[in-house]
Structure 1
Amino acid sequence: MSSDSCNSRHFSWLMKSCFPNPQHHHHPHGPHPLTPTSAAALLRRQTTISSLPDDLLLECLSRVPHSFLPSLPLVCRRWSELLDSPTFHSLRRRHNLLRVTLFAISISDHSSLSTASLCLNYESAWRVSSFLHHGSFLSLFSHSRLVAIGRRIYVIGRTAMLRYDTWTGAAVSLPGPVASRKKFATAVVAGKIYVAGGCARSEAVEEYDPESETWRVVSMAPRKRYGCFGASVDGVFYVIGGLRIGSLGNEGLVVPGSRAKGSDAAAHVYASSMDLYDVAASQWLRSRTVPGGGCVVAACAAAGFVFVLSSHAVELSFWKFNGARKSSGFGEWYRIRAPPLPAQVRLDSTVRFGCVAVGEKVVLIQVTGCIDDLLRRSGRTERGLKEGLVLVYDCATGDWSRGVDLPEAIRHAACVSVEY
């Protein structure tokens, strides 16, 4: 069963063999002498997959074709727990069966949760689904952030969180961060979720443990940021860009262009800075500055690097930071080829980007702003590209390519990748 061409007959045997055979009975007067043929038949009846130890069972489950994976947790609790283990993930990687899928999630004010998924190397169109979530707090997710652990996506709002299972489509309500946050940084380090920034009242960095489903404060950030981005490489939580939260400007923010003394300089420093938190050592490393002096508009981590997209009002620059702490190049910046935006795209405050690592690739998604509107404002009459533009950067070759545009049914979405 090494490909998706595996037929359902073999898979049905795999599931049925997890349960005892009800037609097999022991003779009340003891065993009868067995012929070689009958002994082999009895051995086949007694050796079911449920009798295998965990390591052998995991070896079998790890070879199941990708299309059958969503059904496996439904067989029994034991299978469900094994499928959540790191060993299952490692075996899938060893057998070269892992697939990385890009997910976009949008939550409306009408208690509707919409998702779209795309497996870059195997699919040519997004798969869209939508369902109602019976909850009165979905407005808290207007500026949510997404992270993924295993097959589950965590949608983190201001004070609430949803856990979405990409296999079953089930969404479960969970407690959100203790501090109310908006447009904050988040990333996963060693199987736990970390959030920082987006809170005017506290510099607290919080950690979420999926096993205990609890939040706790682990540190105080060196700066209060709003609109920042998160990434993680080699055990370090990166808090990147954003605006300074202070006493100046609207909503307590120091904003570029304000007339307050020193506000332009403060906004510039925060917009291009990066703080590094060593999770294992519980300490902050030396902060870094993104070269070029632009404003960070998107960031993610892939292939041992932190990738940062910066805006310079009329153009974009693209950088990568070496996050491998044991390498001689740790801490070095490299300017790489900027995304080749179509000529119709005019950068302004209405255009937003999402940056997601998908395996050894970086996917850039235009998640808000309408290019048609920009064309009308610029006086151009030809139709441009709609929002949802997807560009893919190959970390190995350094090449950009055009991806499949985000579906019209799920605009203004937050994006994340899931590997299984």
Structure 2
Amino acid sequence: MSESCSNSRHFSWLMKSCFPNPNPNTNIHQSIITTTTTTTTTTDISSLPDDLLLECLSRVPSSSLPSLSLVSRRWSRLLLSPSFFHLRRHLHLLHHSLFALSSTTLHSATLIFDDDTTCSSWVLHPFPILPLHSLSFANFQSFLSQARLSAIGPRIFIIGRNAMLRYDTWTRTLLSCSPMLFPRKKFASAVVSAKIYVAGGAYSTSTQSATVDEYDPETDTWRVVSHAPRVRYGCIGASVDGVFYVIGGLKMGGEGAAMAAGRREAHVLYASSMDLYDVEARAWLRSRALPGGGCVVGACAAMGYVYILANHAVELSFWRFDARRKSRGFGEWSRIKSPPLPGQVRVDSRVKFSCVGIGDKVCLVQVMGCIDDLLRRSGRSLRGFKQALVLVYNTASGDWTRGPDLPDVIPRAACVHFQS
């Protein structure tokens, strides 16, 4: 029996598997078990490609953004990119804010806007210590009084005639940046495609600024990109659809005895006109003039339009210019509802306005110069009067509402819109 059993040729492979194998090393039907060692690789968020990392970062709460911006240069770059703000806007997580900086006190304040109404009050922030080798404290007030503010994301650039500072609203820090190529004051500035453009202004009668300059915040460098068709002094800047608008102002110059004496003479008014510079094409479009005339005292861009506040000596008018170049209405003017100023306020050269576009709203901040003297001379009461009235225009409904007044510790404020 053992012999017959040992003759394995008579059994099927299934039966053979039941018999003990005297020499397991030589059994060709032995199952060979291979043990595979699995290595677990941990992937952290920093190893994700930029597009996926942006998707993650865009969903974090606003309160965490300041600390996230300090993680690495890559994270900081992504958090400041247009793609990040596009994602935040799509997720309804992008906050529009109005930033106000006093030219006489070291204080700033922020007013956050939501989809419907403004917040109930301003949030005050002591201004940070100046960076070394930038400006002396004695010259800082003079620097602020002539400065223009431009914002790219959460960063606010304070541009003076011979210096520039960058204020980070997330970290509350100041950094000194490269100054403009030519000293300017009372110039126009605006942001187009994450770069700052300046035009107009002058330092003196003999040093008028006829160029349009571009600032790249990534490289901290300035360059001349064009020459302006008209040299404007006291002009205002705005941008819509890739076009830099240089609005209002005067042409400053001197002739004969006036120039010899070093006096300035405003002999040509540009007060109700604006020049249009196409940034991508590097070309100037046809200039446009305000239909009702007057002197432009405030201007900003919002929702594809340029909004202009004009002074007519006895009244103010409010206008809208269609700046959407791909629309049939491009270039059309419309007169809209004027701001409801209180009765104590009369149109005067000492009454200043700051006009700021914030999402689908236009914020008008009334900033007075020498208001006490103005009211005393007019014999009017100071009771209940606010030096920094804030009015908000809803571009969808066409209505004005009263916003919270600027705090008393921020007189003569310069204002700008920023996003975070």
Instruction: Give the TM interval when normalised to the shorter protein.
Output: 0.7 to 0.9
Q: 76, 80, 83: which one pairs with 1:84?
A: 80
Q: 52, 60, 81: which one pairs with 2:56?
A: 60
* SS of residue matched to 2:189: strand
Q: 130, 133, 136: which one pairs with 2:130?
A: 133
1:240 pairs with 2:247: yes
Instruction: Map 1:105-144 to 2 at 5 A.
Output: 105-108=101-104, 113-121=106-114, 123-130=119-126, 131-134=128-131, 135-136=135-136, 137-138=139-140, 139-144=142-147
Deviations 1:24-61 (A, max 9, x none): xxxxxxx9978xxxx9xx67xx2432343322221111
* Number of the residue aligned with 2:227: 220
Provide the C-alpha distance between the structure 1 equivalents of 2:213 and 2:322, rounded to a whole number of angstroms. Answer: 25
Report if the CA contact (8 A) 1:244-1:253 is conserved.
no
- Which shifted more, 330-339 or 133-142? 133-142
* Number of the residue aligned with 2:343: 343
- Which shifted more, 122-131 or 364-373? 364-373
* Number of the residue aligned with 1:96: 92
Report if the CA contact (8 A) 2:103-2:411 is conserved.
no
Check 1:388–1:98 CA distance in 2 against 1; reply closer, same or farther (3 A cut): same
Report if the CA contact (8 A) 2:298-2:310 is conserved.
yes
Provide the C-alpha distance between the structure 2 equivalents of 1:281 and 1:78, rounded to a whole number of angstroms. Answer: 31
The letter for the 2-side match of 1:208 is Y
Structure 1 unaligned residues grouped into runs of 5+: 1-30, 256-262
TM (normalized to structure 1)?
A: 0.82
Report if the CA contact (8 A) 2:110-2:123 is conserved.
yes
TM (normalized to structure 2)?
A: 0.82
Report if the CA contact (8 A) 2:129-2:174 is conserved.
no
Provide the C-alpha distance between the structure 2 equivalents of 1:254 and 1:396, rounded to a whole number of angstroms. Answer: 42
Instruction: Map 1:251-270 to 2 at 5 A.
Output: 253-255=264-266, 263=267, 266-267=268-269, 270=270
Check 1:279–1:373 CA distance in 2 against 1; reply closer, same or farther (3 A cut): same
Instruction: Map 1:10-409 to 2 at 5 A.
Output: 46-108=42-104, 113-121=106-114, 123-130=119-126, 131-134=128-131, 135-136=135-136, 137-138=139-140, 139-199=142-202, 200=205, 201=207, 202-247=209-254, 253-255=264-266, 263=267, 266-267=268-269, 270-369=270-369, 371-381=371-381, 383-409=383-409
Provide the C-alpha distance between the structure 1 equivalents of 2:73 and 2:178, rounded to a whole number of angstroms. Answer: 25
1:415 pairs with 2:415: yes
Provide the C-alpha distance between the structure 1 equivalents of 2:388 and 2:376, rounded to a whole number of angstroms. Answer: 18
Check 1:383–1:275 CA distance in 2 against 1; reply closer, same or farther (3 A cut): same
* Shift in Å, 1:198: 0.8
Deviations 1:159-191 (A, max 9, x none): 110011110011111122111111110101111
Provide the C-alpha distance between the structure 1 equivalents of 2:378 and 2:346, rounded to a whole number of angstroms. Answer: 9
Note the aligned Cα RMSD (angstroms).
2.2
* Shift in Å, 1:114: 2.3
Report if the CA contact (8 A) 2:237-2:246 is conserved.
yes
The letter for the 2-side match of 1:174 is C
* Number of the residue aligned with 1:8: none
The letter for the 1-side match of 2:59 is R
Report if the CA contact (8 A) 2:344-2:380 is conserved.
no
* Shift in Å, 1:128: 1.1
Provide the C-alpha distance between the structure 2 equivalents of 1:380 and 1:295, rounded to a whole number of angstroms. Answer: 26
Check 1:381–1:209 CA distance in 2 against 1; reply closer, same or farther (3 A cut): closer
Deviations 1:97-124 (A, max 9, x none): 111011012244xxx7421101023631
Provide the C-alpha distance between the structure 1 equivalents of 2:263 and 2:371, rounded to a whole number of angstroms. Answer: 31
* Number of the residue aligned with 1:19: none
* Shift in Å, 1:86: 1.9
* Shift in Å, 1:74: 2.2
Check 1:33–1:172 CA distance in 2 against 1; reply closer, same or farther (3 A cut): same
* SS of residue matched to 2:218: coil
Provide the C-alpha distance between the structure 2 equivalents of 1:236 and 1:400, rounded to a whole number of angstroms. Answer: 27
Provide the C-alpha distance between the structure 2 equivalents of 1:184 and 1:157, rounded to a whole number of angstroms. Answer: 10
* SS of residue matched to 2:353: strand
Report if the CA contact (8 A) 1:345-1:371 is conserved.
no
In the alignment of these two chains, the number of paired residues is 368
The letter for the 1-side match of 2:356 is V
Report if the CA contact (8 A) 1:102-1:117 is conserved.
yes
- Which shifted more, 153-162 or 72-81? 72-81
Identity of aligned pairs, percent? 61
The letter for the 2-side match of 1:183 is K
Deviations 1:250-278 (A, max 9, x none): 975444xxxxxxx4xx32xx111111111
Check 1:224–1:83 CA distance in 2 against 1; reply closer, same or farther (3 A cut): same
Provide the C-alpha distance between the structure 1 equivalents of 2:405 and 2:95, rounded to a whole number of angstroms. Answer: 20
Report if the CA contact (8 A) 1:346-1:374 is conserved.
no
Report if the CA contact (8 A) 1:102-1:118 is conserved.
yes
* SS of residue matched to 2:348: coil
